[in-house]
Each structure stands twice: as structure tokens, then as C-alpha cells.
Amino acid sequence: MAEAVVSAIAGRLGDLLIQQAIFLVGVKDQVEDLRDELMWIQSFLEDADSRQDEGSLVSTWVSKIRHAAYDIEDIIDTYILMVADEDEKFTPRRTRFLGSLKRYACICQKGANLYTIGKEVEVVKNRIQKIGDEMTRYGINRKDGGSRGDRRSLSPQDRFQQLRRSSPQDDATLKDIFGLDKNIEKLVAELVRKEDRCHPICIAGMGGIGKTTLAMKVYNHEEVKHHFECRAWAYVSKDFSVKDIFKRLIKELKPNLSTEELLEMGLFSEVYLEEKLRELLKDCTYLVVLDDLWDLEAWESLNRAFPQQSKNKGRVILTSRNTKVAKESITHQLGTLNEMDSWKLFVVKAFGNDDCPPNLEESGKEMVKKCDGLPLAIVVLAGLLGEKSPQEWFIVRDRINQQPIMKEGRGKNNLEKILSLSYNDLPYQLKACYLYISLFPEDYEIIAEELIWLWVAEGFIRCQRDVTILEDVGREYLNELIDRNMLQVAYKDDLGKVCSCRIHDLLREFCISEGGENFLDHYSHASCSSLSSTTASSVRNSRRYAIHSGIGRYDFSNLSNSHLRTLLLFNLNRESLQQQQLESISNIRLLRVLDLSNVDLQGMMLPDALGKLIHLRYLRLSNTKAKVPSSIECLQSLQNLDLWGSNCHWSDIAIGALSKMTQLRHLLLDYKYWDGLDKEVVALPQIDSLTNLQTLRWVDALVWKQNDMTNLINLRDLMIINIKTSDVELVLSSITKLDRIQSLDLKLSAYQSTEYAFPTLVPLSRCHHLQALTLRGKMERLLEDPYHEFPPRLTELNLVYSRLGPNAMATLEKLPNLMSLYLHRSSYMGKKIVCSVQGFPQLRTLRTHHLETEEWEIKEGALPKLNRLCIENCYNLKKIPMGLRFVASLQVLEFYDMSEEFFDRFNRGEDAHEIGHIPSINARR
């Protein structure tokens, strides 16, 4: 991991020399020397970091390098703060802190700061040189003996291009199950058996043995889905909030809750949510899975929400490492896999549909045997070996055998060795990214987009080619970690893109252990009753810190003199912060990442001192109800600003403040941000100077019109709201000039009514890179030829309140590359849907929601690649679409909240001949 730290800091020094050279007057040459020294020594770190288990000498040397790199970062960042503070003394009001070259030069030359930093830089430079001399003296050199075709010798971009797959392996499908058939059969029988009194079922076993996998396989079993009207799943984990678990279960049982309804739930008490959950469950047969309970108290605090489990009305499945977690439960103890099933699992995970090459089978079985039947260890080993050459297989086998992992204990000891080998095998640029994930709470569903943005803000992702987008490289990093089975897919979109992921708790524990030496730390009130002096000292030396719970009583003043660059608040217990706590956070002057999302700040204005965090790159205030001070304009390094769900209003911030944040890459506003904006406003916010912007969501059409948005040459993801009919053509024409636009969301004013409409979509046909399109509001009509209105590469189309007539379907089904179509709320007004022969040639997913359709016919030869069909809240549809029997590719069919007549016909099996070939059918009233 040291080489990742050194690489990031060396890269940062390079950025400073280019972007903020104004601060480095008088020490520029020394900083260049430091950067060159770090880049030279980094070339040796890649090998040394993976050899730390060979002896204490290498480990000590790597540790010295890491600490020296951190000290360099502290010196430079602190010096820049000094210069900025000096300038503020000389400036009557805040201005752009990069100001005048002469002013800074004068201040730096007259002050003592220049002498101080020069002296400190020289000391650290001598330390670096001394470490290099020690390395040579003791013979610690890079091993260059491998083939030049070795993956490690490739540039990061070439490596990922070589390994890139169309989509990462999806563990969520759970197709590769071995050794669990009898367990599944037994549990399914137990669940559907009728008894007067139904006890909870506890699946118990050691970490990594497959408890969650078994529970999920049973949860998705066709017989189980047919038996239970309602199903819900919640991850519990060690540090959980009862209120949060109730919210998750309610959301599972009512998946159509709006964003506003979900936010409102956060305001309700635990008692109210408990009663709400009980109300939802009392009149239906239900199955609830509570995954990863740690103790009896956790179960008792949750159990009270479930109606009496009698007369086969409801069942609860628990998974736990503790067999005593549930009283009066039916305990199902899960054992390890036998040798045959272990080998089958390994081969599938390592080679997919192929067999293991004969020349690798002996060494492969030898290594798999070391996993001792633990599925997680087998899966991680497969991820390690899957892309390696035969020679590399033998190297891994020898490393495993060098230190026997079969000890008195089983399972976890074996896993730790496998994890260490897999981690050390990661390309150096992935190591810091992977360890970083342990900042997230246990069992936390991590949004992929947010994780990638955090990696970029932390400086973990660097590109050797100017044309490469950092976020694209970050997506490849994420996919490789999934391909290596070191991350689990939590959710994919309709096109197979990973939207969220999780890390297994044992892998997370490994990352926490490996990420020591000041790289990261975390705090949870559930596990720490108070912040001890030892803990406080550790936090002050840590670079990254996450607080999972207990923020309401946390003393943030302990962090004011720390080395913190990252502070993430997850607020699992839904607490709020006081003004004094916010003041303390604003005094952590070296911060680069600050995430306060989901902390209810009750409309408070953030401290004016926030503007002094001039190193800040990432500021997330979503769902905080916080107001932002005008001093935010001083955050010149900011790359990510997320104001969704805050109380921030455009009038609270100085006009033009946003325009000064020229480094912004992702700007997420709120629809309420623009309240009261009209043509009478004298001056509108200016954002057309943000040429680095890639994401811009919830921007008002009036602001879009008044800015020259064609300057936003890097924009890829755009959402415009409050568009009037008279402005549609102007807005669309300006969008066509954005060559990189890939995702577009357009929302008309009063989009639910017929007051405004899209008179034409013709300009969009010139957006050659646009792939995802969402249109909210009435569409006058569609031309018969879709090529005249839709982008040629369109793969995803979402329509809301479009009010299209009966002929529109004939146009949509001609879109040649469309893979996902969502017809939402009155988007289609026809009484009948007809899918014609050869219609929708590439469509994989089709969703309909709240349509007035009464009849649906699918012609033979239509929808030849459809994989998933979801029909929801279409109350006028009385029966299953006729012709589904022709759609041989269909794998998943879903019906939710349909009419009584529809479900009566479905339950009688009148249309069984249409759907008998479909593997998975989900129906819920």
C-alpha cells in the first residue's frame, strides 16, 4: 500500500507545481526535487510492499517511506494554508485566493514562512535520500526477472484495457452454488410447512461459510416466492440502528415509496416505524430475512415488530455466527464444503464456463485444499488465479506453502493467508482504493458512483494519458475488484452496470488491519463508549476517519489539530449536530474530503469558516437541510459539490460564487435551490466557466439559457428542470453542441399536466454519444421514423407523463439499439400495446408503471432478446400479455399491485401456457 500513498503524494506535488505554483514561490525547485525523489523511490516500492512478509527489514523500510511521504504532504499543505492566511490579512474582503502573483511573492519573501518550509523540505529530502541509501546498502532492489509480458509491467490504462470485460461477474445471480442443495431443500420445506406455531430459523456458521448465500438462495426460491405474499430482507451487522432496519424493511415491502416519503420516514420515531411495519405484515403471509445478527439483544430489539408467527402467516430467517442469537429458533448449522464441491466452486469462479487446464489441475487442487472448504476463501483464491499464467500459479502455490496455513484453528486462519496473497497481487494503484472501502460501515451498500468520485478526490486515480477520464478508470478499478471476488455486487441496472456493491465483513476486517499506519481509522459509538486518549491520539495521526454512529455526542474539537484529510459521517442512528460541532469540523484545515450527508442540520447555516478549507475537493451535504455560506466561493480546489436535499438556496450564495469553482467535476443541486427564480432577477448565477464539469443535475432552464453552456465541453451527465415549451428548442439546440453528453434528463415545468410539452425532439438526433435519455412531460407526437428524433446510440429510454398516443409504440419499437425502456405514469395513453414482428430488436428490459393499458399483444418474432418484463400498477390490464410464449429469452417476469381480476386469473393458471417457460415469476398484490 505504501507505493499507492507515495504515488498519490508525488502526483499531488506535480499538480501543485502546475496548478498552484503561485503558493510555491521560492521553494519550487525544492518541491520539484522532492517529487522526483519520490517518483524514483516509487519504482522500488511496488515489489517491496508485496515482500513485507519476507522479513522485518523490508517492512521497516516501507514504513519509513510512507511516513516520510506523509510528512511531505503535511509540510506543503500547511505552507499553502499559511500563504492563504497571510493574504487574507492584506485583503479587505475575500477574493479568489489565487489572486495576484506580485502580492503572494511579496508576502512570501517578507515572511518567515519561506525560510521555515525551505528548511523542513530539506530535512525530509535528506530523509528520503538516506532511506534510498539504506535500501541499496542492504540489497533491497526491485525484482525485474519476470517476463516483460507480466501484467505488472503494463501501464495502468493498458492493464485495465487488457483485462476489461463487458461486465463484471455478478455474484448476485447466485447461479454458482455447490454443496448447498440439501440445505436449500430442507429449509424450503421447513418454510412452507404448515404449523400452529412457527419458530424463526437461524442459519448459523463461521464467517465466510455461505450463510448469506444460502439464505438468499432460499429467499429467491420459486416455491418460497409463491408461498409468501410479502418478502423483505435487511442486513443488520454489529453496529445497527433498530430504526434504520425498520425503515429498510418497510422500503422492501413498499418499493414504490417516493423520495419524499423516504425522507419523511427518517423523521418518524422508532415506535411509529415499528407499528407501521407490523401493520404492513399483519394481514399477509410474509418472509423476513435478518442477515448477520451478532447477539440475542439485537434479535429481541427487532422481534417485537413482527406479528405473532402462528398459523403459517409469517416466517423469519436469521443468519448469525452465534448459534444462541435467537431463542426458540430452529438452528441450521452450516458446515464447510467437501473437496469435490470446493473444486467445482473454484473452477466456476476462476474459469467461468471453461474447465481447468489439465496442467494446472494438480496445483489448483493443492491450493483449494488449503481453503479448508471455506467458500469465501475459495472464491477469493479463484479471483487471484483466474487471470494468471501457469508459471504464476506455481509461484502462488509456493507462497502459500512457505507459511503453512493449516493451523489448530480452521477457516479464518486459512482465509487470512489467501486474502494477503490476493491483496498483494493487486496492481499498486488498486491497493489504496481497496483499503479505503473499509471506511464504510459493515454490510453497508456502497453507491458505486459515489465511491469512484471519492477515489478521484483522494488522488488515488491517476492517468498517464490526457484523454482518459479519471472516473472511467475508477469504474475499471471497481470492476476488477469485483472480478477478483474482493467485492460483492449489490445491485446492477437494467444494462448490467454495477450501481452498488458491498464488502464481506471478513474482507473488511482484513482491510482495517492492513490499512493501519495512519492510513485510516473509524469510530462507532456502539463499540466505543468514549473517545479515549489513546484513540484520540490515533485519530490525530490518521489521514482518513469515518464515524459510523454516536455523532451527536462526539467531540470534534479533538480533530482540529489533526492530520485528517478525510472525514466521513455515516450517522446510522440519525442524529443531528450542534453549531459548535460544525465549528470544530470547519477548523480541520487540511481536509480534502468532507461528507455530512444524512445528518439533519435542521436548516442551520454552515460556519463561515468552511471557506477556509481551501484544500477541500469533495463536499457532500445531501439530505442535511443545511444552508451554505457565501464563503464557499473560496473553495477553489472543490471537485464534488452535492447540495441535493439541503436547504441551500441560490440567493444565499453570492452571485457568481459557483463560477469561481473552476475545478468542479460533479455539481448536484436541488430542485428547491432555484425556488423564486424568474426573469425579473437582476443577476443570475453564472456557471458557464466550469469547463471541467462532467455532472450537472437539477439546473434550472432559465439559468441554462442565460449562460453559454456550450463552454461545458466535458459535460457527460445533465439534468435540466423547469423547461417551458417555448424554450425547448433552444435548450435542445444548445445540448447538441456538447459533444460528450451521454446521459440526459429533461423535465418540463408542470410536467404532470398538459400545460407544457416537448414540441419536437429532432435536435437530439444529432447527439451522437447520448445513450440514456429521460423525458418528463407531454410529448406532442413522435415521428414515424425514430432516426429523426432520437440519438443513434440510444440504449436506455425513460418516459414520464409523456401522454403518447397509440401509434407511438410503432415508433419506439424501431429504435435499433434500445436495451432498456421504462414507461412510467401516463407515458403511454393507448388502450392496447402491440409489439410487432421484429419490434424492439435489442431490448433487454421493459418496465411499465401506472399505465391505462387494457390489452397487450406480443407478436411472434417481437422482443427477441427480452430478459426481464415488469408490469406494475396497471390496474386496467386484466390478464398477462398474450404472446409471451413466443419470447423464449425471457428470464424474469414481475407483476406488482395489479387488479384483483388480474391476480384471480393468474392464480387460476388460465394463462399458464404463456409463461411456463419463464424461470422466475414474481407476483405481489
* 127 and 135 Cβ atoms separated by less than 8 Å: no
Which amino acid, 172? A
**Contact (Cβ atoms closer than 8 angstroms) between residue 749 and residue 755:** yes
Contact 461, 8 (CB under 8 A): no
d(CA 413, CA 424): 17
Residue type, 643: L
Q: Are 543 and 567 a contacting pair, CB within 8 Å?
A: no
* pLDDT tens digits along 638-672: 999 999 988 888 887 877 788 889 999 999 999 88
Say which residues have a Cβ less than 8 Å from residue 114's Cβ, sequence separation at least 6: 25, 26, 27, 108
Mean residue pLDDT of the chain comes to 82
Tell me the CA end-to-end span of the chain in Å, nearest whole number: 51
Q: Of 70-84, 592-606, 900-914, where does mean pLDDT reach its minimum?
A: 70-84
The percentage of the chain sitting over the pLDDT mark of 90, rounded to a whole number, equals: 39
Task: Please provide residue 892's backbone torsions phi and psi, each rounded to the nearest 5 degrees.
Answer: -135, 125
Let me know: does 535 contact 519? Beta carbons within 8 Å: no
Q: What cell does 693 get?
A: 464539469
The answer to whether 280 and 254 have CB atoms below 8 angstroms apart is yes
- How far is Cα 901 from Cα 907, in angstroms, rounded to an integer? 10
Nearest CA-CA partner of 752 in 697, 802, 698, 809: 802
Q: What CA–CA distance (Å, rounded) separates 784 from 810? A: 8
Q: 2 burial class (0-12, 13-18, 19+ CB within 10 angstroms)?
A: buried
pLDDT at 58: 67
- Binned at pLDDT 50, 70 and 90, residue 25 comes out as low
Q: Which comes out higher in pLDDT, residue 653 or 893? A: 893
Decide the pairing of beta strands 498-502 and 446-447. Answer: antiparallel
3-class DSSP string for 473-497: HHHHHHHHHHHCCCCEEEEECCCCC
C-beta separation of 187 from 336 below 8 A: no
Using an 8 Å Cβ cutoff, are 874 and 868 in contact? no
DSSP string, 684-718: ----TT-TT--EEEEEEHHHHHHTTGGG-TT--EE
From the list 55, 60, 45, 50, the residue with the least C-alpha distance to 3 is 45
51: pLDDT confidence band, cut at 50, 70 and 90?
low
Which letter does DSSP use for residue 873 in this model? S
Q: How far apart are CA 922 and CA 224, in angstroms?
A: 11
Residue 494 C-alpha cell reads as 437494467
**pLDDT 10s digits, 499-531:** 999 998 888 988 988 877 688 898 876 544 444
DSSP 827-845: SB--SEEEE-TT-STT--E
CB of 786 within 8 A of CB of 817? no
Distance CA 556, CA 558 (A): 5
Q: What are phi and psi of 651, to 5 degrees?
A: -75, -15
Mean pLDDT of 747-763: 90
pLDDT confidence band for 361 (50 / 70 / 90)? very high
Q: 3-class SS at 191?
A: helix
The upper half-sphere exposure of residue 634, i.e. CA atoms within 13 Å in the direction of its Cβ, equals 21
Predicted local confidence at residue 525, as pLDDT: 63
* DSSP-derived secondary structure letter, 607: P
Asked whether the beta carbons of 695 and 716 are under 8 A apart, the reply is yes
Residue located via cell numbers 530535512: 123
C-alpha cell at 179: 454443496
Per-residue pLDDT of 837-877, as tens digits, reads 999 999 999 999 999 999 999 999 999 999 999 999 999 99
What is the pLDDT at residue 719?
97
**Pairing between strand 201-204 and 330-333?**
parallel
**Whether pLDDT at 444 is above 70:** yes
At residue 454, the pLDDT reads 97
Using an 8 Å Cβ cutoff, are 663 and 641 in contact?
no
Question: Residue 477 has what pLDDT?
Answer: 94
pLDDT greater at residue 112 or residue 588: 588
Q: Are 199 and 309 in contact (CB under 8 A)?
A: yes
Distance CA 542, CA 64 (A): 16
List 730's β-bridge partners, or say none: none
Cell of 155: 501501464
Burial of 611 (0-12, 13-18, 19+ CB in 10 A): buried
Q: Which amino acid, 601? A: L
Contacts of 833 (CB under 8 A, 6+ apart): 809, 853, 855, 856, 857, 881
Counting Cβ atoms within 10 Å, is residue 866 exposed (0-12), middle (13-18) or buried (19+)? buried
Per-residue pLDDT of 542-601, as tens digits, reads 899 999 988 988 999 988 878 899 999 998 777 889 999 999 999 999 999 999 999 989
Average pLDDT score over residue span 28-54: 63
Across residues 330-340, what is the average pLDDT? Answer: 88
Which pLDDT score is estimated for 16?
60
Distance, in Å, from the CA atom of 500 to the CA atom of 330, rounded to the nearest integer, reads 33
* 867 Cβ contact list (under 8 Å, min separation 6): 844, 845, 889, 890, 891, 892
548, 570 Cβ separation under 8 angstroms: yes
Pairwise CA distance, residues 341 & 546, whole Å? 39
Assess contact for 233 and 252: CB atoms under 8 A: yes
C-alpha cell at 299: 434479535
CB count within 10 Å of CB 136 equals: 10
* Residue in the block written with cell 488522488: 459
If one compares 685 and 543, the residue with the highest pLDDT of the two is 543
Alpha carbon distance 805, 795 (integer Å) = 22
Confidence class of residue 91 from pLDDT cuts 50, 70 and 90?
low
Between strands 566-569 and 544-549, the pairing is parallel
**In terms of pLDDT, which residue wins out, 605 or 140?**
605
Element spanning 292, H or E: strand 286-293
> DSSP labels for 719-740?
EEEEE-GGGHHHHHHHHTT-TT
Identity at 501, one-letter amino acid code? C
Phi, psi of 642 (to 5 degrees): -115, 110
Per residue in 276-309, pLDDT (tens digit) is: 888 888 878 889 999 988 888 888 888 888 876 5
Cell of residue 615, nine digits: 484544500
Give the CA count within 13 Å in the CB-facing half-sphere of 374. Answer: 25
Four-point Cα dihedral 894, 900, 902, 904, nearest 10 = 100
- The length of the chain in residues reads 925
Question: Phi and psi dihedrals of 491, rounded to 5?
Answer: -155, 140
Residue 403 identity = Q
